[in-house]
Amino acid sequence: MKKKSGNYRFPIIVEKDSDGYFAYCHNIQGCYAQGETYDEVLRNIREVIKLHLEESLANGEPVIRSDEILFTTLDIAV
Q: What is the pLDDT along the chain (78 residues), one digit of tens a residue?
A: 455 667 888 889 999 999 999 999 988 888 999 999 999 999 999 999 999 999 999 999 888 777 677 788 899 999
Instruction: Report all structural domains of the chain as residue ranges with CATH numbers, in order of start.
Output: 9-78 (3.30.160.250)
Q: Which pTM was predicted?
A: 0.79
Q: How far is residue 59 from each of residues 2, 27, 29, measured CA to CA in Å?
A: 7, 18, 17
The helix or strand, by DSSP H or E, that contains position 13, with its residue range, turns out to be: strand 13-17
Using alpha carbons only, what angle is made at residue 69 by residues 11 and 4, rounded to the nearest 5 degrees? 50
